[in-house]
A and B are shown apart, each in its own frame.
Chain A
Amino acid sequence: MNKTKPPLIILVFCKPEIIKAFNLSQWDLLIRQARYAGVLARLAFLLEKNEVFSFVPEKPLNHLQSALTFSRHFELSLSWEIDCITEALKPLDTPIIYLKGAAYFLAGDIAGQGRVSVDVDILVKKDRLDLVEKRLIFKGWRNQQYDAYDQKYYRQWMHELPPLVNIDRNTCIDVHHNILPITAKFCPDANKLLANIVKIEEKYAWVLATEDRILHSATHLFHEGEFDHGFRDLSDLDLLLKEFSAEQGFWNKLLQRAAELKQQTPLFYALRYTSLILQTPVPEAVLKASAEHSVNRIKQRFMDALFLRALMPNHVSCNDSWTGLARWLLFIRSHWLRMPWYLLIPHLYRKGMMHITGKEHH
Chain B
Amino acid sequence: MTSTKFIIGIEPFVICLETSLSLVIKAIELQYGNHCFLLDDDSVFSDFHIQIKSPSVLRRRFRAQAQFYIDGKTPFKPLPLSQAYPFFEWGLNWCIASQIHQYLILHAAVVEKNGFALILSGQPGAGKSTLCAALINRGWRLLSDEMTVIDLKTKELIPIVRPVSLKNESIDIIKKFAPEAIFGDSFCDTAKGTVSHLKPGRTCVENSTKRAIAKVVIFPRYKEGAKTNLQVLDKGQTVIKLADNAFNYNVVGAQGFNALCDVVENSSCYDFEYSELDDAIKVIAELSC
A→B interface (CB under 8 Å): 23-28, 32, 35-36, 57, 59-60, 62-63, 65-67, 69-70, 72-73, 76, 315-316
B residues with a Cβ closer than 8 A to A are 14, 41-47, 49, 71-73, 99-102, 250-253, 255
CA distance A70 to B247 in the complex (A): 13
Q: Would you call A66 and B101 a contact (CB within 8 A)?
A: yes
Report the Cα distance A26→B49, complex, angstroms.
Answer: 14
Q: Which 5 A-B pairs have the closest CB atoms?
A: A316-B72, A59-B45, A24-B45, A66-B101, A69-B101
Q: Which residue of B lies closest to A40 (CB)?
A: B99
Chain A residues near B99 (CB, 8 Å)? 35, 63, 66
Q: A66-B99, A66-B102, A73-B251 are in contact. Are A315 and B72 (CB under 8 A)?
A: yes
Q: Which residue in B42, B43, B44, B49 is a CB contact (below 8 Å) of A32?
A: B49
Q: How far is the CA of A65 from the CA of B251 in the complex (A)?
A: 12
B131 CB → nearest A CB, Å: 31
B251 to A70, Cβ gap below 8 A?
Answer: yes
Which residues from A are CB-within-8-Å of B14?
A: 59
With A59-B47, A63-B47: A73-B253 Cβ-Cβ less than 8 Å: yes
Say yes or no: A60 contacts B71, CB within 8 Å. no
| Contact A70:B44 (CB < 8 A) given known A76-B253, A315-B71, A316-B71 | no
Pairwise interchain contact B73-A36, C-beta atoms closer than 8 A: yes
Contact of A70 with B43 in the complex, beta carbons under 8 Å = no
Q: Could you name 23 residue pairs across A and B whose Cβ atoms are closer than 8 Å?
A: A23-B42, A25-B41, A25-B42, A25-B44, A25-B45, A26-B42, A28-B44, A28-B46, A35-B71, A36-B71, A57-B45, A59-B45, A62-B100, A63-B102, A66-B100, A66-B102, A69-B101, A69-B102, A70-B251, A73-B250, A73-B251, A73-B252, A316-B71
Cα separation A66 to B98 with both chains bound (whole Å): 10
B101 contact set on A, CB distance < 8 A? 66-67, 69-70, 73
**Contacts A23-B42, A63-B102 known; 20 new A-B pairs at CB < 8 A:** A25-B44, A28-B46, A35-B99, A36-B71, A57-B45, A59-B45, A59-B47, A60-B45, A62-B100, A62-B102, A66-B100, A66-B101, A67-B101, A69-B101, A69-B251, A69-B253, A70-B101, A73-B101, A73-B251, A316-B72
